[in-house]
Structure 1
Amino acid sequence: MNARIDHLVIAADSLEQGVAWCEATFGVQPSRGGKHALMGTHNRVLDISTVRFPQCYLEIIAIDPDAPAPGRPRWFGLDQPTLREAVRQCPVLVHAVARTGMMEMLRQRLANVDLDPGVPLAAQRDTPQGLLKWRITVRDDGRTQCAGALPTLIEWTGAHPCDHLPPTLLALQELVLQGVPQEALDVLKLPGVRATPVGLAHAAPLSATLNSPRGTVTIDAWHPED
């Protein structure tokens, strides 16, 4: 395999809003995350690992009101006016991130099929267990591709967030990507992921189904046409 789903990204207007949404939607409370100085954001996280999706977590991310502006567009399209307006109403699923140990090779192969996954940036955040460090692909405009369905690539240096997250009753059962070209899917070879054809009417760019204390919950991704 070339990549695995590493985490799902929920964009929120604030972490307080994101936590309240998480408790109402799933019946669980996320663990404390940390601050991303590189992008002026902060997060809360939950382990959602399963046999199908090992070392996988849910990230609730928001612009940090106490951080200086990063001087560049933030990751995951968080600066898009339409997304900023959407999250004022409710947190939304916007993206999935895939981990790999072959970032440069996958970037080149995606470029060869006319996709721009972005360039690798070094990032880190403090945790009580020590510093988490990673490289992640980010486009210069901060946007994601295929309406958010093409995963961003991440490469961890050392520890992974799930190494120290407490177990939860939230578990990712299925992830569906819609609109990613088959050539890109062949490059990434994402195990456990189901893909639907490009242009399928009324399909969300990505859709995640999780088991939770509130039962089985499916969340569909927001995209600008909504």
Structure 2
Amino acid sequence: MLQTSIDHLVITAASLADGVEYVRRALGVTLETGGEHPRMGTHNCLLKLGDEIFLEVIAVNPDAPRPVRPRWFQLDELAADCPPQLATWLARTGDIHAAIAASPVDAGVIEPMTRGRLNWLISIAADGKLPLHGIAPSFIEWQAATHPARKLQDLGCSLIRLEAFHAEAEQVDRMLACVGFQGAFSATAIAASEQPYLVAHIQTPAGLRQLGGPAAYAAK
């Protein structure tokens, strides 16, 4: 039976330093260095949010050659003065081919990716666009016995719930139902004139904090 769950949240930023500072101010913790993605020309930093959930800050790697295809997470569209934002999330599955086939929302095509010794399969649109403006997830299937979040330092942060706001919220609900999603996620309908956005509620050593929200998207 097909099952999916929240794997990780994605903060996009014009630079990795900007993204890390945004999270530090919001959550009061400093992320650890992740690594580089050779196929995409990007690099990241990470924060553990659970045994198999983490937060990723990702940005264009200025020292890497430009890839021959559009970068993922719409990073090619970020202006130099664009503030960091909670752009999207990834749903983990043990069968990414089945998840893609079952989803009524186009999540892209399956691509193999690497970061250091890590290998995984991920769904990415050919043009780098995000499913339903990032409110619907892309899919990921790790090719490792141990989830990478288990190897991250525990700074006392955990994801409590993820909320999505989109004019077509019912599409997200239908997609998740079709791929057997289970997790603390809700989608709420907003006016078609409003910009969609995500809000992550995260427990930290300093109390409950939030990432995302409409202000970040409006500033884009």
| TM-score with structure 2 setting the length | 0.87
Aligned residue in 2 for 1:67: 64
Does the aligned pair in 2 maintain the 1:178–1:200 contact within 8 Å?
A: no
Q: CA deviation at 1:24?
A: 1.6
Q: CA deviation at 1:200?
A: 7.4
Distance in 2 (alpha carbons) for counterparts of 1:172 and 1:203: 24
Distance in 1 (alpha carbons) for counterparts of 2:192 and 2:96: 29
Aligned residue in 2 for 1:197: 189
Q: Which amino acid aligns with 1:186?
A: A
Aligned residue in 1 for 2:53: 56
The alignment status of 1:79 with 2:76, answered yes or no, reads: yes
Most deviating of 198-207 and 175-184 = 198-207
Aligned residue in 2 for 1:161: 148
Q: CA deviation at 1:150?
A: 0.7
Equivalent pairs counted in the alignment come to: 211
Distance in 2 (alpha carbons) for counterparts of 1:172 and 1:200: 28
Does the aligned pair in 2 maintain the 1:120–1:136 contact within 8 Å?
A: yes
Most deviating of 213-222 and 100-109 = 213-222
- Secondary structure of the 1:88 match is coil
- Secondary structure of the 1:137 match is strand
Aligned residue in 2 for 1:186: 177
Distance in 2 (alpha carbons) for counterparts of 1:10 and 1:195: 19
Q: Which amino acid aligns with 2:121?
A: R
Aligned residue in 1 for 2:102: 109
Q: CA deviation at 1:185?
A: 2.3
Which aligned pairs between 1:1-226 and structure 2 lie closer than 5 A? Answer: 2-49=3-50, 54-80=51-77, 84-85=78-79, 88-110=81-103, 113=104, 115-126=105-116, 131-158=117-144, 159-179=146-166, 180=169, 181=171, 182-188=173-179, 189-197=181-189, 199=191, 202=194, 204-221=196-213, 222-223=216-217
Q: CA deviation at 1:197?
A: 3.2
Q: What value does the CA root-mean-square deviation take over the aligned residues?
A: 2.1
- Secondary structure of the 1:48 match is strand
Q: CA deviation at 1:216?
A: 1.8
Tell me, which stretches of 5 or more residues in structure 1 are unaligned?
none
Q: CA deviation at 1:223?
A: 4.4
Q: CA deviation at 1:224?
A: 7.3
Does the aligned pair in 1 maintain the 2:158–2:204 contact within 8 Å?
A: yes
Change (3 A) 1:41 1:191: same
Change (3 A) 1:219 1:204: farther
Does the aligned pair in 2 maintain the 1:146–1:205 contact within 8 Å?
A: no
Distance in 2 (alpha carbons) for counterparts of 1:45 and 1:67: 19
Change (3 A) 1:220 1:201: farther
| TM-score with structure 1 setting the length | 0.85
Q: CA deviation at 1:34?
A: 0.2
Tell me, which stretches of 5 or more residues in structure 2 are unaligned?
none
